[in-house]
Each structure stands twice: as C-alpha cells, then as structure tokens.
Structure 1
Amino acid sequence: MKLDHPHIITEGNLTYRLGELSGNSILYDFDKMLIYLEAKGKLMFGERFRIYKEDRGILLKLCNYIIKDYDSCKKDGIDPNKGLLLSGPVGCGKTSLMRLLKFLVPYQKPYSVIPSRNIVFGFNHIGFKVIEDYGNGQYFCFDDLGVEPTGRHYGKDCNVMGEILLSRYELFVNRQIKTHCTTNLNARELEERYGKRVRSRMRQMFNLVAFEKNSKDKRK
C-alpha cells in the first residue's frame, strides 16, 4: 500500500481498491469497503469471520464516519470530530469492527483498542500512573466500557475508567483528540456506573452508534 494511493490496500498477494481518486478526494465504494473488511477480518480473526447482511446499516454509518464523509454523517446525525461510542449486546461484533475500521484509512492516525478491564488490572498493580498514561495525547478505543471491576490500589477504591474519561474529555476540548469506546450498557446504566458528571461529558465526546437490542451473538 502506498500512501499516495490510500484507496488501494494490499494484503498479501491481493490488492483491494476501495474507491477512485477524484482530484484530492477519494470516492469510496461501500460494497468494496465491505469486501476488504471481510477479507481483513478473516486474516485477523480466522476464516469464520464474516460481514452480516443485517449489519450493513450500522456498517454504513461507521464507514462514513471513519472516511469522514461529512454529508452522509450529517444525515445520520454524526459528528466526525467526535469519537465513537459503539453499543450493543454481547457478541454482536463491536470489538471486531472497531479493530478493523482503522485499516480503511491508513493515512489517519491509528487508535489502539484496549480492554477496559486490563486498564483496571494495571491500576491495581501500579496505581495512578495508569490513569496518567491513558490521559495522554494518544488515540484509544476503550473496549467493554462499564463492565470492568472497580480499581483498588493500596486499599483505596477508584473508578478508574471514569477518571480516565474525565482526562480524555479535557484532551477532546483542548486538543480535539478523540476517544472511542465499545459498551454493552445503555445510557442509564452508564450514568449509574460513572455518575452524571462523566455521562454529561460523554455526550459531548461521543457519537452514539448502536446495534439493535436483538442483534445475534456471532460467537455462537
């Protein structure tokens, strides 16, 4: 893959053309993006991975967001300058999609997908430095937000992800640095977990994109 041709991506011996160049812009083809995402998904997660027809609607929103199709995002009520809060039931594919999406745009700064529970385990081991580490200028997607345990270091409890979200809010406001998250929780449950202050800031930081409540568990 050449960065002067960011719409053409090579994986092994295969080349995927995601669209066509038009001046300084790329005219993306949604169906070609889905073909690439499925191929990349099989490489990353195994041959059983596939893109499901019933997920096309949510994938269209996610793809339009990641390629910064401002007109389409506006129609969907999505702000490309905010992060993504991707919600849905267990096993619907949130984590896999967030791990895949960034490969569509190799010219953008990538984000790292980090399980929220791992961050808390790190806090339990080394303390508040963990919160400082995730409050820096890097790009992150915090996976499975809201189901991580409460942090505890030297006998003191801490809502670790709540504190990190407050730090990420300051980065968003002052430096326009985005954060992404996946969660199984709804808005009420997130407020119960993190409090009104954090929930209020989350509304400003994130675009909520949600799978249907009855989305199938793809792990079965």
Structure 2
Amino acid sequence: MNEDIKTHYNYQEVIQWLQTKGKVLYGNHFTIHETDYTIVYKLIAYFLQDEATCFQYGINLNKGILLSGPIGSGKTSLVTLMKYLAKTDHKFAIKSCRDISFEFIQDGYEVIHRYSKGKLYQAESRNYCFDDLGTENNLKYFGNECNVMAEILLSRYDLFISKKLKTHITTNLSASEIENNYGNRVRSRLRELCNLIAFDNNIKDKRK
C-alpha cells in the first residue's frame, strides 16, 4: 500500500484477520498471496468505505465492484470474505449466475424481478454480488429464449440510477466478451454501475 495514503485503518492487520477467517471457511491451505495485496487493499478500502484510500485508488464509493480475473484467481473467495467487512448499509448477498439460470428454468421471468426489484408484491430490492458472470447460458422458458443476466443487469442499472442500489460482479470475461455475451447496452451501463478491479491475466490458477 502507498505509504503516502493517510488512513485510520491498519490494512496489514485487516489482511491477517481475513486470512484467519479464510482458513476457517476454506481450510488451512487458504492464504492471501502478497502478489494479490494491491487487489485486496482496493477491496478492503471499498468495503470499509475508507474514503481517503478509495480516492487515491480512483474508486467511486457510489458504485459497485466488478472483480475481473482468470479462472482460479480467487475472486469468489475474496468477495465472500468482503461480506464480513461490509458495513450494515452495504451488506450484500452473493448469488451464482449459474444458479440464477437454473432458477429461471424453474420459475421463469419472475427470477428477473427477484434479483432486481425484489420478489413480486414485496419491496425486497437489495445489494447483490452476481458471481461468475458468463458461466450461465441463454435459457428457454416455455420456448422463449432469454439472456437472463443481461435483463437483470439492465434492471439493476435502473435501480442504481433511481435508488443508488449497489451491484457487485465477479467474472473471468474481458470487456469485449461481456459485450459479445450481453450486448453493448450492458457493457456501457456496467462502466457506470461498477468500479473495475482486475487481476493480471497471467496470474496462476490457485486451485492447482
């Protein structure tokens, strides 16, 4: 971390705490690699709402986070740990995009409503992290094909504009792949919806 950044948080202590929490959740093999510290510092700053550090990193606290990186870089593990740092007003639920696609097969278009405006007839809009964007497929419900996540993200954008609702995303897709999968409207809105925090593409798969 840049020593010129003035903050009242001890980031090394926070990382040690996250590492301990990670071992509880994932086993004793879990570790936060020093090569990932810059990514982790940015995530810590955002979820602790550390304005000074976020300003130095160019992170907008009004937006969500789009955490991008190769398969096995640790995106899901890190976002899961960030749930324990998020302050009350910024708590979020994590939902796998694949699970959402399976829900669509079961429940149809109500699923789009569920992850945007809340369940039908109930005001349940909430902050979400959509995990592994790109692992779901376009699915059919009674013969009608739907790009479920594209529709959800467009609805989430509207909620961001009207209610400042946060949306976080993890993905191994590049910007051009996002556009190919979800269209240029989604790609354009994601720029406004999320801060991009990206692992180096050459990072090794930590699952090996």
Is TM-score (shorter-chain normalized) higher than 0.5? yes
Matching of residues 5-24 of structure 1 within 5 Å: none
Q: CA deviation at 1:176?
A: 0.3
Runs of at least 5 residues in structure 2 that lack an aligned partner in the other structure: 1-6, 118-124
3-state DSSP of counterpart to 2:8: strand
CA contact (8 A) 1:33 1:104 kept: no
**CA distance, structure 2, for counterparts of residue 49 and residue 41 of structure 1:** 6
Q: Which moved more, 1:43-52 or 1:157-166?
A: 43-52
In the alignment, does 2:45 pair up with 1:58?
no
| 1:184-195 correspondence runs (5 A) | 184-195=172-183
Does the Cα contact within 8 Å between 1:58 and 1:209 map onto a contact in 2? yes
Match of 1:123 in 2: 104
Conserved 8 A contact 1:83-1:180: yes
Query: Which among 62, 65, 72 is matched to residue 84 of structure 1?
Result: 65
Structure 2 SS opposite 1:200: helix
User: In the TM superposition, what are the counterparts of 1:24-43 in structure 2 within 5 Å?
Assistant: 27-43=8-24
TM-score after normalising by structure 2? 0.91
Name the Cα RMSD after superposition.
Answer: 1.2
Cα deviation for residue 106 of structure 1 reads 4.8
Please state whether the residue corresponding to 1:201 is helix, strand or coil: helix
**The structure with more strand, counted as a fraction of residues:** 1
Task: Give me the identity figure in percent.
Answer: 47
1:82, CA displacement in angstroms? Answer: 0.2
Structure 1 length normalisation: TM-score? 0.86
| Contact kept in structure 2, 1:85 and 1:182, CA below 8 Å | yes
Cα-to-partner distance string for 1:76-109 (whole Å, 9 max, x where unaligned): 1110110000000000000000000121235344
Aligned residues: 195
User: Which one scores higher on RCO, CA 8 angstroms, separation ≥ 6?
Assistant: 2
